[in-house]
Structure 1
Amino acid sequence: MGNYKWNNPEQLRSLLCEVVSWDSRTHTEGERKFPFKLQQKLLENDYFKQHPDYLSLHEADPGRNLVTALYKHQDATDTVVLISHFDTVQTEEYGDLEDLAFNPELLTKELIKRKNELNEESRIDLESGDFLFGRGTMDMKMGLVLHMSMIEKAISEDWPINLVLVTVPDEEVNSAGMRAAVKVLVALREQYTLSYKLFLNAEPSFTQKPGDENYYIYSGTIGKIMPAALFYGKETHVGEPLKGMTANYISTFMTQLMEWNALFCESERGESTPLPVSLQQKDLKLQYSTQTPYRAVALYNVFLMKRTAQDVMNLFEQVALKAAKQCNEAYQLICAQARVKPIGKVSVIRYQELLEYAEKKLGKKQVEKLLSDVLAHDEWDEREKSLRAADELLIRCSELAPAIVLLFAPPYYPAVNSSDDPLIKETIELVKNLALKEFELEVKQIHYFNGLCDLSYVNYQDQSYGWTTFEQNTPTWGSLYNIPFQQMSELQAPILNVGPFGKDPHQSTERVHINSAFVQTPKLIESLLKELFSVKPTM
């Protein structure tokens, strides 16, 4: 047996607190520095000093890096990829305790003094002494710590398999880290002759409803896509309202039909996607005036299980055509009553069609210049740039108005599921039996992880090339936003998520269950790796 540093509950707790203390909120300096701190921590293991090529930083995007750490057994090709993310969401909700958000031991002690300020469930958990509070304790630095522990064990006990630890930035926003990691994983496979057999994530076990104390493992992850719309009417003075049409008027018909529309709901294996909702709706007027708002935009959230981008765009177009029809009928009636001539009929256009029209009218060079000017606005995020790109084109092709332009805005998470895979079925039974026998813990399987997850970017299967619809209708595609669909298709191995139990991710009461994190889950992950890949116990 080796000299372990990240093995027993006390060591794991200490490591978690250290890793949490490295503030790595998305899009902060802390997130940029985190990979270098982690690299130094991993170098405490002599294995990586002896094999420096096995521990690497890779650029995710300018200024941000992902980390890979390879444990390579000389006789093995079978490889398990251990996936985690190290960024966390922001911490404003901690109020005057924000300085302690990254110090779990002190925060937990301080909360005891303020327990009456917590909701009942959080207060009961705090008083039990069974939870450690802090930003990133649950989501998901404990997962990274578990994977570090597995790498150390494999090195120390000379496991006859290969492990690749991959931990990435930006999971909480656009998954730039995991999208970049796809290419890295393909390259590592070629360089070291690895055969990927399992992609194992350690996102925490999420509660399914308030008060839920069940422990879940996940054999898939839900997908998400963001259909968006630009509404373009005709400007006028408020004193002559029927000489124009507000974009807000058009948008109300669309949002009424999109919000909670069961057409977008999918059900598989007794689980269902949440209904779609609007995430943003606004007009594009920059200041107040008596000119009516003639351009507006909306973003809609749609979850996926089996559907591709093409499927969603087809449904989205169907809804838009119905919205346009209702809008036109209502508008025609108003014009008839007022005895004025309508300005036209609202049409529905896909971004792909608008782009082709604009290129014919303006020329490719001018269109490229317009789009590149939009991308130069650093104050806009990927979603805003997508909407503004469509807006810039339609301003110059206003003869197409009034219109609803349909597009996609980042991010896009394809759904992935491995519930029918023989290896996953075997693994789930193994974990269930072990948890019951060792800890009297009942493990429940969920087929689709109900929080978005980096596993969306591996084991991609789409024989119909439905993703090309996403490429063609995402204005920032290829310049600001990319998904490596082709390489994702090459990473064919089943997925599984086994992580610690916790509660309240993204809240000031985020916490991880101490026994689950430091005793139960390490044992479950170690056992499944050893059993599946015939690792014999060390003497």
Structure 2
Amino acid sequence: MFEEMKELTKKLVAIPSINGSSGEAAIADFIYGYVSGMPYFQRHRQDVFTQALPKDQLGRKNVFALLRGTKGNSKNTLIFHGHMDTVGVEDLGTLKEFAFDCDRLAEEMKKLPQTEEVRRDLESGEYLFGRGASDMKSGDAVFLVLLKHLSAHPEELDGNILFMFNPVEENHHTGMITGLEILKQFQEKEGLQYLFAVNNDYICPLYAGDSKRYIYTGTMGKILPCMYVLGKETHVGQCYEGVNAVNLASRIVQAIDLNADLCDAYDGELALPPVALKLRDLKPWYNVQTAREAFAYFSYMIEDGETADILHRLRDLSQHILDDMIACQQEQLQTYSQAAGIPYKPPAFEGKVYLFEELMALAAERELVHIEQNLAELAVRGRENHDDARDIALAAVQELCRQLQLSGPAVVLFIAPPYLPHNTLHRDKPDEALLMKGLERIAGDMSAQTGETFEVLHFFPSLSDSSYLKIDDSPASVAALTHNFPVHEQLFPLPMDMIRQLSIPGINYGCYGKDAHKRTERLYMPYSFGILPELILKTIYTYLA
């Protein structure tokens, strides 16, 4: 199957399914055609189908294929899923025209200076280069080829395998979220009993020199904390009379970005620190007035933390930064006044950091009875205009501040899309502990069989569609999230009850690669097309034989 998986990966890479492009629909059509052509699905056409994403202008869709085992009457079902989209290709620079041609890209990369490691991998012949080769079209290819071979012998399976291929994973995860309805329908109408799901998203070294192959029993959660920074504008000729929102926002970003003290943790595993993804002022044009407003947001990975605790910690840190900036500015004014020989008269600035829910409570106290409706209507208009979801949430916060007549200096801390629940297997829950032991046994057997070193960990370290199969966030944590998430019903509605009802453990195996989302993205083929398929088959026959 090695060559078959390799060639199919190349064909999938050749379809430029960049997130937010029509290529996402094109690759879904290709996969649907590939599965539909299998003899099994020629005989069972009702079991391969697509599901359109609602109101999607690009025509994106999920692809489902249900392989029904005939060895017995078991309703036990495994889910195999993967995403079909990729990030863009701007990072490849002059090589971006070759991004979707694995062989040509490798040849062109050989002509350019590379690090010693990349050069070695290029010349080894064991790596496949290309956008999506690692993340994660190779994983889809492995599933598809296995489906082809498994569907030739359904009599070997006592149970079912549901294959699901989703678009829109690289930002809002709309494919998986939409697909939950199909999972629920199969469960209710056909009695499918989901044992667990396996995602084939890429795995990679966790540190320099790491050669382990990881199996993850869950996935990180994520929130997107946002800071609306409201300064006090002034002319540059009276610069000490104001508070520059850009200065304040940049100080907050510096304090939070990559701050290891803010890392969440669970059972000996440490999440990565928050990462700044956006920082900009909100001046629409040039003038000599200091910035009154600025905007920043962060990716914040969660393993077990409570949303309220995280928000309060960020608020306290931001309040410290705000107070410190005002004090530093007054010190600078004193230094300037002494040097200029003028009286020192510091402005009386007092700043405060608010949570969004605190401002909504203040609006209720002031009887702004239509505020929620006004913000919802604002969000609907923003969606109709195809505005960025983060900007719509920001606009809602700005409108709330306007109606409250909030003056700076101030910071409003709120949450914007996307939100990803965290989940994993817990040893104090009998069913989950039993599955954990089963996976550890499979990993041990594979280590003995192949000589590879496998390790089972709790959390897939990147973001994953698996977040929406099971939710470990507490009700209190979800409540804190929604209370601080402006217009969340319009921007990012989640079927929370359905996720809790399904509660499908989300495992990640994954092809092995390096440098996903980088110009040197590449897939290690000996493991991905040789050992990984055996790992998946061993899992299938352990639970469905």
* TM-score normalized by the length of structure 2: 0.88
Report the CA distance between 1:520 and its aligned residue.
0.9
Q: Residue type of the partner of 1:122?
A: V
Q: Is the 8 A contact 2:4 2:145 kept in 1?
A: no
Q: Unaligned regions of 5+ residues in structure 1, if any? A: 1-7
1:429-461 CA distances to partner (integer Å, 9 max, x unpaired)?
333333233322221223222221111111212
Report the CA distance between 1:423 and its aligned residue.
3.9
1:125-183 CA distances to partner (integer Å, 9 max, x unpaired)?
12222112222111111111222233333322221111111111111122122222223
Q: Residue type of the partner of 2:536?
A: I
Q: Is the 8 A contact 1:416 1:456 kept in 2?
A: yes
C-alpha separation in 2, matches of 1:314 and 1:255: 16
Q: Does 1:22 align with 2:23?
A: no
Q: Is the 8 A contact 1:382 1:476 kept in 2?
A: no
Q: What's 2:118 paired with? A: 122
Q: Residue type of the partner of 1:49?
A: Q
Q: What's 1:386 paired with? A: 393
Q: Residue type of the partner of 1:472?
A: H
- Out of 343, 347, 354, the residue aligned to residue 349 of structure 1 is 354
Q: Residue type of the partner of 1:157?
A: H
Shifted more, 247-256 versus 274-283: the winner is 247-256
Q: What's 1:221 paired with? A: 219
Q: Residue type of the partner of 1:215?
A: R
Q: Is the 8 A contact 1:431 1:443 kept in 2?
A: no
Q: Is the 8 A contact 2:379 2:490 kept in 1?
A: no
Q: What's 2:153 paired with? A: 157
Q: Is the 8 A contact 1:231 1:251 kept in 2?
A: yes
1:395-417 CA distances to partner (integer Å, 9 max, x unpaired)?
34334543211101222222221
Q: What's 2:69 paired with? A: 73
Query: CA 1:224 to 1:463, structure 2 compared with 1: closer, same or farther past 3 Å?
Result: closer
C-alpha separation in 2, matches of 1:107 and 1:423: 45
Q: Is the 8 A contact 2:221 2:302 kept in 1?
A: yes
Q: Is the 8 A contact 1:374 1:389 kept in 2?
A: no
Q: 1:138 is paired with a residue of what secondary structure?
A: helix
Query: CA 1:531 to 1:352, structure 2 compared with 1: closer, same or farther past 3 Å?
Result: same
Q: 2:440 is paired with a residue of what secondary structure?
A: helix
Q: What's 2:41 paired with? A: 48
1:208-238 CA distances to partner (integer Å, 9 max, x unpaired)?
1244333222222222221111111232323
- Out of 269, 274, 277, the residue aligned to residue 276 of structure 1 is 274
Q: What's 1:3 paired with? A: none
Q: What's 2:230 paired with? A: 232
C-alpha separation in 2, matches of 1:479 and 1:368: 7
Q: Residue type of the partner of 2:452?
A: L
C-alpha separation in 2, matches of 1:377 and 1:352: 27
1:47-97 CA distances to partner (integer Å, 9 max, x unpaired)?
323333322222335132111111123612111111210101112333443
Q: What's 1:93 paired with? A: 91
Query: CA 1:94 to 1:291, structure 2 compared with 1: closer, same or farther past 3 Å?
Result: closer
Kindly report which structure 2 residues correspond to 1:190-339, keeping only aligned pairs within 5 A, or say none.
Answer: 190-327=188-325, 329=327
Q: What's 2:50 paired with? A: 57
Identity of aligned residues (%): 27
Report the CA distance between 1:393 and its aligned residue.
2.6
Q: Is the 8 A contact 1:254 1:320 kept in 2?
A: yes
1:440-493 CA distances to partner (integer Å, 9 max, x unpaired)?
222122322222111111121234331122222222411122232221111223
Q: Residue type of the partner of 1:347?
A: K
Q: Is the 8 A contact 2:422 2:473 kept in 1?
A: no
Shifted more, 288-297 versus 95-104: the winner is 95-104
Q: Does 1:482 align with 2:493?
A: yes
The RMSD of aligned alpha carbons is 2.6
Report the CA distance between 1:199 and its aligned residue.
1.2
C-alpha separation in 2, matches of 1:326 and 1:223: 32
- Out of 440, 443, 448, the residue aligned to residue 432 of structure 1 is 443
C-alpha separation in 1, matches of 2:324 and 2:395: 26
Q: Residue type of the partner of 1:524?
A: L
Q: What's 2:340 paired with? A: none
Q: Is the 8 A contact 2:352 2:409 kept in 1?
A: yes
Q: Does 1:135 align with 2:128?
A: no
Q: Is the 8 A contact 1:244 1:343 kept in 2?
A: no
Query: CA 1:492 to 1:259, structure 2 compared with 1: closer, same or farther past 3 Å?
Result: same
Q: Residue type of the partner of 1:451?
A: S
Q: What's 1:12 paired with? A: 5
1:250-305 CA distances to partner (integer Å, 9 max, x unpaired)?
43553344234444212333321222232222211111112221111111222111
Kindly report which structure 2 residues correspond to 1:462-501, keeping only aligned pairs within 5 A, or say none.
Answer: 462-501=473-512
Q: Does 1:177 align with 2:175?
A: yes
C-alpha separation in 2, matches of 1:358 and 1:464: 25
Shifted more, 473-482 versus 414-423: the winner is 414-423
Count of residue pairs the alignment pairs up: 524
Query: CA 1:244 to 1:398, structure 2 compared with 1: closer, same or farther past 3 Å?
Result: farther
Q: Does 1:529 align with 2:504?
A: no
Q: Unaligned regions of 5+ residues in structure 2, if any? A: 338-342
Q: Is the 8 A contact 1:230 1:297 kept in 2?
A: yes
C-alpha separation in 1, matches of 2:351 and 2:132: 48
Q: 1:280 is paired with a residue of what secondary structure?
A: strand
Report the CA distance between 1:242 and its aligned residue.
4.7
Q: Is the 8 A contact 1:71 1:164 kept in 2?
A: yes
Report the CA distance between 1:345 and its aligned residue.
2.0
Q: What's 2:141 paired with? A: 145
